[in-house]
Amino acid sequence: MRDIFEYLDYRGFLQDFYAAEKQSKKFFSYRYMADKIGVNHSSLIKILARKRHLSGRNIPAVLSLCNLQGPRADYFTNLVYFTKAKSDTACKPYLEKMLALRDCPSARILKDRYEYFSKWYYAAVRSLLDCIEFRGDYALLARKLNPPITESRARAAIALLVRLKFIRKDTRGVYRVTDAHVTTGESWESAAISTYQRETIQLAASSLERDKKETRDISTLTMSVDREALDDIKNILREARAAIIRRVDEIPDDRLDRVYQLNMQYIPLSKYENT
């Protein structure tokens, strides 16, 4: 079976562990495994089915049963709490500990992808390379951003984008954006993207003082809605994002000359007992 470091949900590891043990040891059963880790038979089945979680007090018994020691034991422990976390903020510290402990071929890629979402200017630099011919003038690249960043941060951004294969250097020595997509959806990415969105919201707030009014569009609408309108407005915003993407895709590459960020914030300002 795969190494524990390959897992991002402890229940997937336990499912594979059970299957491997069952194949090599005829006596191994759900009841046997449940007894070893200190839970009842039905609880173990629900845990493996991802319908409930392992208690923290059962972790030492699992480590013993699965013969997990040292960094692997630490990884599994953090993996349990990461999987159980109910918010992006709560799971973030466990994820960061897991990334530090991971020891597998994909670890560097995962760390780099997590890093990509940690700073607003990584995505901004990637988009800026669509607008300029960058050959290594990091000071100029840093000044091109708004707000500007340091030259060392510009170097770090280019290095990260190259490692992720989001950009490459062509035969003329110009860094070009590749077709590699930045996808979201995995559990670890939720925590990373939460950090990224927090940074971009703060960036939008500072734009009120930093940028001329004619170069930005910031508006606020406060409204009362019902459940049906709430969902309808979400769909309208989703359609608007898709329409904006289609419009941007129509722009010829040789006409791209600036980078913009669009934040849509549609948030509750009151509590409703059934939500």
Q: What are 146-201's pLDDT values in tens digits?
A: 999 999 999 999 999 999 889 999 999 999 999 765 654 455 566 677 777 788 88
Whether residue 69 lies inside any domain: the answer is: yes
CATH code of the domain covering residue 9: 1.10.260
Predicted pLDDT of residue 218: 85
- Confidence grade of residue 107 (pLDDT, cut at 50, 70, 90): low
Whether residue 60 lies inside any domain: the answer is: yes
SS3 169: strand
The top-scoring range by mean pLDDT among 89-93, 134-138, 189-193, 220-224 is 134-138
159 C-beta neighbours (distance < 10 Å), count:
11
Q: What's the average model confidence in pLDDT over 55-60?
A: 96
Whether residue 119 lies inside any domain: the answer is: no
Whether residue 97 lies inside any domain: the answer is: no
Question: pTM higher than 0.75 for the full model?
Answer: no
Domain hosting 29: range is 4-85
Predicted pLDDT of residue 84: 92
Whether 75 and 3 have beta carbons less than 8 Å apart is answered as no
Rg (CA), the chain: 24
Whether residue 67 lies inside any domain: the answer is: yes
Whether residue 54 lies inside any domain: the answer is: yes
Total domain count, the chain: 1
- Confidence grade of residue 39 (pLDDT, cut at 50, 70, 90): very high
